[in-house]
Amino acid sequence: MKPAAFDYHRPGTAEEAVGLLAELGDEAKIIAGGQSLVPMLSMRLAYFDHLIDISRLGELQGIERRGQQLWIGAGTTETEVGADAQVRQAVPLLTRATPFVGHFQIRNRGTLGGSIAHADAAGEYPAVALTLDAVMEVLSPRGRREIAAADFFTGVWETSMEPDEVLTATRFPVWNGRSGFAIQEFARRHGDFAIAGALVAVALDDADRVSRCAIGLLGLGATVRRATAAEHALIGKPAAELVPEDVGRAAMTGLDDIPTDLQGSAAYRTKVGAAMAARAWTQAIGEAGAAHA
Amino acid sequence: MHDQPVRLSVNGTPIAATVEPRMTLADFLREECGLTGTHLGCEHGACGACTVLLDGAAVRSCLMFAVQADGTEVTTVEGIASPDGTLSPVQSALRECHGLQCGFCTPGFVLSLTALLRDNPEPTDAEIREGLSGNFCRCTGYQGIVTAAHRAAEAMRVADLQSAAGASPGQPAPVPE
């Protein structure tokens, strides 16, 4: 349980960090909070000759409302995200997802960007980013670019970032109107990675019909997922006519790479996922229904 | 691989050392500082035995490197009791409520509870259990620990009331309903 030896770098700016990353290549890895990386290093599941520490870069930290989006620096800790009043008001799904991320001692070090860049299929923040169609801001020696969440998560712990790119921030769209948000997940012990989970963001029109809807899934594939077909089928439907259990089952259609492991078979995960989606739907639609236009 | 200088404060004592970057803060505290109260159970962030306060925030000292603690203030279980040896309210409550048996996990519980009660002086039972979910105990069981958390919270509230009322520590405490 001791990591292999590495050299440690603490650049003073994000530009410097990506410069180092480009120069050192595959042998280098970015470390922020380290709450996923350090266990992997300790168990020697990963080796790097160089770690580039970005956890102290002030330019990567902060929470800022920018029009209809909420900008959150990648280095902002999960504790800060979970406690922030602006996040609670503008992107309540993030606030509600935060208690599911590890334990409070983990959240004191772990960062929003680290969680998203690590791209665990059961990661709550990746799931929130995908559910809300967030935008990732990345930096490389070639400059800055943006990646839509739908194009970001590509495989097990894999993203569409180039090897010399660093995630610097995520922008979350702010939903207005009569909207509701919920996350439900099942884990054997609090703080464990969930066996399966679901997130729902839903908005209703004045006639209580579903006007906007997003269903995110975690632990139900190689990456976090969206239940796109189910979402389309729900648009325009009167909320009162929708049975949560049907919504939950519909959300499980089309999933073709549900993991089977010691924690449970794919069939079991599907049942758990459907139940979580149904619960999240009930909660989110209830909140949206209670909201005034 | 190149060693790195690190300067930090541990329980109020300034420490300067040169370390291998791969040395975790936990190993640094135990091996370089001689503070073996910080225990290592799993060494990958699951058990919580190595919990310390980093600039006041409870963190896993096995999940960060000593070089990353450069410039910070670290508090370990050795820094929780008063210099004269008087136990903190959390430590006293754990002793009184049978919150420990073998004691291996206790330093982590002490630090987690200290941070938890500082940030939330009146926690509910659910908040205590959620707050302790990142610390494993494998022999005593959690009932005594949860009871200790309630008692420590109460003792700290009473102490606050006393100091607000200007009472001396020797006087009997007014117990709130």
Q: What is the ipTM of this complex?
A: 0.94
Same fold, B4-79 and B89-165: no
CA A46 to chain B, closest CA, distance in angstroms equals 13
CATH number of B89-165: 1.10.150.120
Q: How many CB atoms lie within 10 A of CB A219?
A: 28
Predicted confidence at residue B177, as pLDDT, reads: 46
Q: Do A109 and B63 touch (CB under 8 A)?
A: yes
For an interface test with B, the pick among A35, A100, A105 (most B C-beta atoms closer than 10 Å) comes out as A105
Of the pLDDT bands very low, low, confident and very high (cuts 50, 70, 90), residue B140 is confident
Say if residues B136 and B44 touch (Cβ distance below 8 Å).
Answer: no
Tokens of B25: 């803060």
Q: How far is CA A46 from the centre of its chain?
A: 22
CA B86 to chain A, closest CA, distance in angstroms equals 26
Alpha helices, DSSP H only, in B10-142?
A: 25-27, 89-96, 106-119, 125-131
Identity (one letter) of the amino acid at A226?
R
| Chain A residues within an 8 Å CB radius of B44 | 1, 38-39, 42-43
CA A48 to chain B, closest CA, distance in angstroms equals 11
pTM of the full structure? 0.94
Tell me the domain boundaries of chain A.
7-53, 58-173, 178-290
For an interface test with A, the pick among B6, B27, B68 (most A C-beta atoms closer than 10 Å) comes out as B68
CA–CA gap between residue A227 and residue A214 (Å, rounded): 8
Mean per-residue pLDDT over chain B, rounded: 94
A124-148: per-residue pLDDT in tens?
A: 999 999 999 999 999 999 999 999 9
B123 close to A (CB below 8 A): no
Tokens of B147: 């009871």
Q: Do A190 and B130 touch (CB under 8 A)?
A: yes
| Chain A residues within an 8 Å CB radius of B22 | 2-6, 41
| Chain B residues within an 8 Å CB radius of A55 | 68
| Chain A residues within an 8 Å CB radius of B75 | none
| Chain B residues within an 8 Å CB radius of A29 | none
Q: Do A191 and B58 touch (CB under 8 A)?
A: no
Considering only CA atoms, which of B102, B78, B72 is closest in space to residue B91? B78
Place of tokens 């439907």: A237
Q: Order the strands of the A210-218 sheet from edge to edge.
A: A178-186, A196-204, A210-218, A225-226
CA A253 to chain B, closest CA, distance in angstroms equals 34
Predicted confidence at residue A230, as pLDDT, reads: 97
Predicted confidence at residue A263, as pLDDT, reads: 87
B3-48: per-residue pLDDT in tens?
A: 999 999 999 999 999 999 999 999 999 999 999 999 999 999 999 9
Alpha helices, DSSP H only, in A37-84?
A: 37-42, 78-83
Which residues, at least 6 apart from A192, have a Cβ–Cβ distance to it below 8 Å?
none
B17 close to A (CB below 8 A): no
B78 close to A (CB below 8 A): no
Q: Do B24 and A38 touch (CB under 8 A)?
A: yes
Q: Do B44 and A191 touch (CB under 8 A)?
A: no
Of A39, A99, A102, the CB nearest to B44: A39
Q: Give the three-state DSSP class for B98.
A: coil
Considering only CA atoms, which of B61, B5, B2, B3 is closest in space to residue B28? B61
A193 to A51, A268, B46, B99: CA distances (angstroms): 25, 16, 12, 28
Of B44, B51, B67, the CB nearest to A1: B44
Of the pLDDT bands very low, low, confident and very high (cuts 50, 70, 90), residue B166 is confident
CA B170 to chain A, closest CA, distance in angstroms equals 35
CA–CA gap between residue B146 and residue B128 (Å, rounded): 7
Predicted confidence at residue B172, as pLDDT, reads: 52
Q: Do B21 and A79 touch (CB under 8 A)?
A: no
- Stated as kind and residue range, the H or E segment containing A184 is strand A178-186
A51 close to B (CB below 8 A): yes
CATH number of A58-173: 3.30.465.10
B79-127: per-residue pLDDT in tens?
A: 999 999 999 999 999 999 999 999 999 999 999 999 999 999 999 999 9
B133 close to A (CB below 8 A): yes
Position B176 pLDDT exceeds 90: no
| Chain A residues within an 8 Å CB radius of B66 | none
The CATH fold assigned to A178-290 is Enolase-like; domain 1 (3.30.390)
B116 close to A (CB below 8 A): yes
Same fold, A7-53 and A178-290: no
CATH number of B4-79: 3.10.20.30
Give the CATH number of domain A7-53; options: 3.90.1170.50, 3.40.50.720, 3.40.50.1110, 3.30.43.10: 3.30.43.10
A68 to A173, A174, B37, B43: CA distances (angstroms): 6, 5, 49, 43
- Strand partners for B18: B5
| Chain A residues within an 8 Å CB radius of B48 | 103, 105
CA–CA gap between residue A87 and residue A74 (Å, rounded): 14
Predicted confidence at residue B96, as pLDDT, reads: 97
Predicted confidence at residue B1, as pLDDT, reads: 77
> B101: left (phi > 0), else alpha (psi -120 to 50), else beta?
alpha
CA B16 to chain A, closest CA, distance in angstroms equals 17
Tokens of B111: 């630090």
CA–CA gap between residue A75 and residue A57 (Å, rounded): 7
Helix, strand, coil shares of chain B, percent, nearest 5, are 40, 15, 45
Predicted confidence at residue A254, as pLDDT, reads: 92
Q: What are the pLDDT tens digits along chain A (293 aa)?
A: 899 999 999 999 999 999 999 999 999 999 999 999 999 999 999 999 999 999 999 999 999 999 999 999 999 999 999 999 999 999 999 999 999 999 999 999 999 999 999 999 999 999 999 999 999 999 999 999 999 999 999 999 999 999 999 999 999 999 999 999 999 999 988 878 899 999 999 999 999 999 999 999 999 999 999 999 999 999 999 999 999 999 999 999 999 999 999 889 999 999 999 999 999 999 999 999 998 76
Predicted confidence at residue A136, as pLDDT, reads: 98
